[in-house]
Amino acid sequence: MSVHSVTPPRPLSGGTNRLPVPYAAAWSGERVRIRGALTVRPGGAGLGYRDETPEDRDGQGVLWARMDRAPGSGRPDFRALHSIRQRHTMLNKLCQVCGGQASRTSQGWLFLLQRPAGPPESADWPEGLLSTKPPVCRPCAALAARHCPHLADPLLVRSRKPRTWGVFGGFFTPGGNGKPVPRPSDDYLPYGHPAAPWFLASQLVIELTRCTRADASGTASDAPGWHDRSTRVH
């Protein structure tokens, strides 16, 4: 599975206070381009684009939502990941913040997670967790853990086997006039599922396995510059 024509990582500013913007973040100028383009394939065989190209599907044959590729256009949305850059960072184990190589040790790849609120987590959480969040490098993990306001209770985890599990997106059903109709809610779809022909993906999903919790203090040891308080990631 490969993703073509991905913009190389480059530093971007959020426009105000010159905040660094995560590489995988979506920008307001990057619109989803599916309206009028989606159709039902001949014979009702599933969802497709009227002018579909091989790049519209991943290596498992799942259709992906089209999205403009214009990082730096408009305003950054720190809570949303661009579908293509999210998939690119996941598949290539790149840091979702800087676009460089994510941190990997004998304990595995580094991920920054939000500890769940509410009921007590299982003893082995996050073993088996399904996630759309790409990995991070050490400096960016430390930066984000300190400054990202929507990570109220961040937890650093290493996964020896972050397994490609499937996709996140939405199901469609065949409507009148050959127009597919979206179901109201988003879903997770495992690769190989028989309903895949009616699914439109927007994020790649991995399963975090062979997990160990990482020591947050250890992330700073080889991270020059991360402690600059004037710099905020989110």
Smallest separation (angstroms) from Zn ion to the CB of 142:
10
SS (H, E, C) 37-83: CEEECHHHCCEEECCCCHHHECCCCCEECCECCCCCCCCEEEEEECH
Nearest Cα residue to 226 out of 112, 113, 116: 112
Which three-class secondary structure state does DSSP give residue 44?
Answer: helix
In this structure, what DSSP letter does residue 207 have?
E
Rounded to 10 degrees, the C-alpha dihedral 105/21/144/207 comes to -50
Dist. CA 100–CA 110, nearest whole Å: 13
> Residue 141 or residue 189: which is nearer to Zn ion going by CB?
141
> Residue 140 or residue 200: which is nearer to Zn ion going by CB?
140
From the DSSP assignment, how many helices (H) and strands (E) are in the chain? 2, 11
Smallest separation (angstroms) from Zn ion to the CB of 222:
13
* Buried/exposed 87-98: b ≥16 CB within 10 Å, e otherwise: bbbbbeebbbbb
| Contact set for Zn ion, span 96-125 (CB under 5 A) | 97-98
Stretch touching Zn ion by CB under 5 A, among 36-44, 66-74, 86-94, 131-139: 131-139
Give yes or no for residue 144 binding Zn ion (CB under 5 A): no
For residue 189, count other CB atoms closer than 10 A to its CB: 22
> Residue 72 or residue 170: which is nearer to Zn ion going by CB?
72
**What's the chain's length in residues?**
234
> Residue 99 or residue 180: which is nearer to Zn ion going by CB?
99
Give yes or no for residue 145 binding Zn ion (CB under 5 A): no
Smallest separation (angstroms) from Zn ion to the CB of 141:
8
Give yes or no for residue 140 binding Zn ion (CB under 5 A): yes
- Structure token digits, residue 132: 């759309």
> Residue 98 or residue 167: which is nearer to Zn ion going by CB?
98
By CB under 5 A, name the one of 113, 137, 148, 233 that touches Zn ion.
Answer: 137
Give yes or no for residue 84 binding Zn ion (CB under 5 A): no
> Residue 62 or residue 137: which is nearer to Zn ion going by CB?
137
Give yes or no for residue 21 binding Zn ion (CB under 5 A): no
Give yes or no for residue 206 binding Zn ion (CB under 5 A): no
Residues that bind Zn ion (CB under 5 A): 95, 97-98, 137, 140
